[in-house]
Structure 1
Amino acid sequence: MKLQLETIIIFVQNINRLKSFYVDLLKLNILEEIPSEWLLLQAGGCNIGLHKMGEHYPNKSEGDFKFDNNTKIVFETDQDIRSIRASLMNEKVPMKEVKTFDNYPYWLCDGEDPEGNVFQIKQRKV
């Protein structure tokens, strides 16, 4: 399995306030933006994603997947994301389904480490 740290996502309450801090004050470049919902910033060798918290976020544990903190580590791979997911599930790692969004160039799959921290694997669509 070949993974490279690509992004750290921070779930936030006010994208615009943090945009002022990271873009205007720290001078980070914007790579992607969905106003008031999502901001991807170039920060050297690893990007910082600012993601607006959803309504479900404060609920401690809905189903078998946790959101006990506000950070998600994102790994990018050039290997088949479904094979990686299957391999991790064979090792008893909790994994969600592979998903994507309209007009988004990546496949995404969230998982959970042994202490409940959420991580994501992403693969560029071909």
Structure 2
Amino acid sequence: MTQLSAAAVMFVDNVDRISAFYRGVAAMTVVHADDEHVVLEAAGFQLIVHAIRYSDAGETTTYPLREDGCIKLCLPVSDIDTARSVAVGLGGELWPPEREWQARGVRVCDGRDPEGNVFQLRQSVS
């Protein structure tokens, strides 16, 4: 029997852009891709980026900040500072260092992806 990975599905307007963002920021690798979705993987976790079109979005390039959702992706990274630069280059952002915190040996920072979804990056602190 095959061991399944934990996974989450994120419905997005632009699969290519969001997949590139999480590949770059969280060093995720593509394990499957087709016209409607991309499956990314890192640290035994899969993120399924699935196409969904907003009826009123058209070809928008600006998305509202989605911080009131019930679930936030939390992804491991080797270096939050590097991820912050990568996030900006790929159309998202990580909050500035003064908004970071540490708990239980982990440095933590939230940010938003290019479609406004809030996520969290975690770096192990020695």
**Same fold flag (TM > 0.5):** no
- Which TM-score tier does this pair reach, normalised by the shorter chain? 0.3 to 0.5
TM (norm. structure 1) is: 0.44
TM (norm. structure 2) is: 0.44
